[in-house]
């Protein structure tokens, strides 16, 4: 089974619209077509963002995704696991990238092209692949 690490940006997009491509990914997880993981850091980020970026319906979707879609919540990486990524990616994204690497995800799914799709990042994460939600659904899952 494919293991994917889901970035906060993808979870936020799914909460905003149940018809988004991001929501489709959570459907795959719910039906156990993929093994979807997030970290405690992602949960902290989404809770901070939820207050200002989600309406009541979006907050209900967030609760649904966290409780009903078979998400695996993993521990945040240690300082030692994060330190090797300093200077490779902005500090705010280090916990995400380190957690995806630590948990041996096949894919890291994110909308953050500016920081995660840099050549030095793409090189260091191999064999993991970093993709956008659309690419994952259309090319990997062939939907």
Which pLDDT tens digit goes with each residue over 29-45? 999 999 999 999 999 99
Q: What is the structure's pLDDT at 142?
A: 82
Residues in the chain: 143
CB 96 within 8 A of CB 67: no
Tokens of 58: 């979006």
CA distances from 52 to 12, 45, 58, 118 (A): 11, 12, 11, 29
Quick one: pLDDT band at residue 46, thresholds 50, 70, 90? very high
Q: What is the structure's pLDDT at 74?
A: 98
Model confidence over 61-95: pLDDT tens digits?
999 999 999 999 999 999 999 999 999 999 999 99
Domains observed in the chain: 2-140 (3.40.50.1010)
CB 95 within 8 A of CB 39: yes
Instruction: Give the phi and the psi of residue 24 in degrees, each rounded to 5.
Output: -60, -40
Model confidence over 87-113: pLDDT tens digits?
999 999 999 999 999 999 999 999 999
Can you tell me the mean pLDDT for 109-130? 96
Whether residue 143 is predicted with pLDDT greater than 70 in this model: the reply is: no
């Amino acid at each position: 089974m494919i293991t994917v690490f889901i970035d906060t940006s993808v979870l936020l997009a799914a909460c905003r619209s149940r018809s988004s491509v991001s929501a489709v990914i959570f459907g795959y997880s719910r039906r156990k077509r993929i093994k979807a993981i997030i970290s405690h850091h992602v949960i902290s980020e989404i809770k901070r963002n939820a207050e200002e970026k989600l309406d009541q319906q979006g907050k209900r979707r967030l609760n649904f995704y966290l409780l009903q879609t078979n998400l695996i919540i993993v521990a945040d990486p240690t300082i030692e696991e994060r330190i090797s990524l300093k200077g490779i990616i902005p500090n705010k994204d280090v916990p995400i990238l380190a957690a995806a690497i630590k948990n041996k995800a096949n894919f890291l799914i994110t909308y953050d092209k500016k920081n995660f799709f840099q050549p030095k990042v793409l090189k260091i994460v191999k064999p993991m692949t970093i993709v956008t939600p659309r690419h994952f659904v259309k090319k990997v899952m062939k939907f």
